[in-house]
Structure 1
Amino acid sequence: MVQKVNPHCTSIHFAVDEWVWLRLQPYKHKSVAHQRSYKLAKRFYGPFRAVARIREVAYKLKLPSYAQIHDVFNVSLLKKFFRVPAGTMHPLPTEFDGPHPLVAPVSILDSHFILSLGRQVSQVLVL
C-alpha cells in the first residue's frame, strides 16, 4: 500500500565520513543586482565530509573555518559525491545574508530608472 501511495519517496542515507555535495539557496536579492539566469547559477558546493548523523534526516558536515553558516543540514540538501575531475570543486561563498550567499559586484557598467508599481526603481548593470 505504501509503495503505491508514495512512489516518489525514497530514503537517502549517507555513511559517516562519506563525501557529499551541499545545495544552497540561489542568490535572489534584488537590492544588489538582478541575475540574468538563475539556471546558470551554482547549485552545489563542496564536496564536504559528513562528520555525524543526527537522527534520520540530518547530517553534520565538516565545513571550512570561514563558513558563516550552520553545519547541520537536512538530507534533502545533500547529494552523494562521486569522483570528478580535478579543478571542478566549488568553494563556499565567504559572506552570507541569512541563508543566502552575498555576491559583490565588480563594477557598475550602466544604470537607469524604470516605473514599477507606480514608483521609480533604479536598475543597475554590474560586472
Structure 2
Amino acid sequence: MIKHAHHGFDLDRPGKDSWRHREAGATQVLMLSNDRWILMHELRGAPEPTLEEQLRLLAPCDLVLIEGYKAAAVPKIEIHRPSFGRPALWPENPHVVAVATDGPIDCPLPVLPLNDPQAVASFILAHPI
C-alpha cells in the first residue's frame, strides 16, 4: 500500500529518542520492535520521490494499492460519493477504470458498490493491468 499525503504528517512524537535524532539532523531513522519496523527518511528540502521510486522501495509483492496520485498513469478506481457534491474524476481522467460509489451514477465505466468490499476486491483481482 502506498498512501500519498497532501499535507505533512509525522508518525513520531516530540520528545521520543527517534524524534530527537531527526531533529538533530539524522536523514534516516529506523524504528523496530517485535511487531513491526518503520524507516523514516527526512527529505530536508529534496524533492518528493516519484511514484516509480517509491514502488522500487517496496518488497516484492503481487499487488500494490495506491491512494492519491490522481494524475499518475496507473489504473484507478475512483471513490465517488454523490452526496458530497463534488464532480466525478472519471470524465477527465483516462486512467479511471471503474467507479466505486454509494449512490446512483450515470457512468460508462464499471460501477462498483462502495459498501461491498468483496465486489471491489473481486474487480481489482480480475482487472488486467
Q: TM-score range by the shorter chain?
A: under 0.3
RCO higher in 1 or 2 (8 Å CA, sep ≥ 6)?
1
Return the TM-score normalized by structure 2.
0.21
Task: Give the structure with the higher percent strand.
Answer: 1
Return the TM-score normalized by structure 1.
0.21
